[in-house]
Amino acid sequence: MKNRFIFSGILALSLVFVFGFISCEEDTPDTWSAVTSLSQLNGSWSGSISETVSSKDSADESMKKLDIKAIQAVIIDIIIKASEKKQNYTNSFKMSISGKDAKIMWDFYFKDEDGNYPENRTETNENITNSWTFDHKNYLYIAKTTITNSPINDEYIEDFEINQNGKKIRQLRREDEETGKKTYLVFYKK
């Protein structure tokens, strides 16, 4: 039961990163228009983002004294099968921690109250597979979710816009209520 709680927490951390940080501001001169047909989304698309953070950049003075660097990356691949009204979706989250004090951060994230680390694990439920991989020696964590043949309908397109040449799609991730500023996740045609 303790491991299930740990893995749920790790998955939650991954999802917070995905939905909290993956959005990126659109800064290209593309012309965007609403997707009007599921067939416009047909094919393979990929979106990614990575971020490097250092304890030296922390607002917390005690963290600034530590030597820790974390690299976090998310890759989302979507295959849309418009004629079948189905999609395959893979979300991969990777975090590596380095620096003289990396073990402190690793233990904070992954060591339970009994001093144990989680083991690699894969769970499958119908068309969803979640896996968690830990390299406790090199401080590397990978969480991956794969969903196959997930049904989609015509309402699915409401979240997307497509650029003028059909090579990029974007999905609104957040809109600031005060400024109206929008952030998007951009996917590129593979």
Q: Which residues contact 1 (CB under 8 A, 6 or more apart)?
A: none
- What is the pLDDT at residue 138? 97
- What is the pLDDT at residue 58? 84
- What is the pLDDT at residue 10? 43
Instruction: Please write the tens of the pLDDT for every residue from 137-156.
Output: 999 999 999 999 999 998 98
Candidates 103, 92, 104; CA nearest to 133 is 92
Provide the residue ranges of all domains of the chain, joining segments of one domain with +: 2-189
Q: What's the DSSP call for residue 24?
A: B
Average pLDDT, the chain: 86
Percentage with pLDDT > 70 across the chain: 85
pTM: 0.75
| 105-130 CB burial, b ≥16 within 10 A, e <16 | bbeebbeeeeeeebeeeeeeeeeeeb
Task: Print the SS3 string covering 45-84.
Answer: EEEEEEEEEEHHHCCCHHHHCCCCEEEEEEEEEEEEEHHH
- What is the pLDDT at residue 21? 43
Instruction: Please write the tens of the pLDDT for every residue from 107-120.
Output: 999 999 999 999 99
CA distance 95 to 68: 13
Candidates 18, 179, 28, 1; CA nearest to 90 is 18
Instruction: Decide if 75 contacts 92 (C-beta within 8 A).
Output: yes
- What is the pLDDT at residue 175? 87
> Which amino acid, one-letter code, is at 115?
G
Instruction: Please write the tens of the pLDDT for every residue from 4-63.
Output: 334 434 444 444 444 444 445 445 589 999 999 999 999 999 999 899 999 998 888 888
- What is the pLDDT at residue 168? 96
CA distance 21 to 53: 12
- What is the pLDDT at residue 1? 40
Query: Residue 103's pLDDT band (boundaries 50, 70, 90)?
Result: very high
Query: Residue 182's pLDDT band (boundaries 50, 70, 90)?
Result: confident
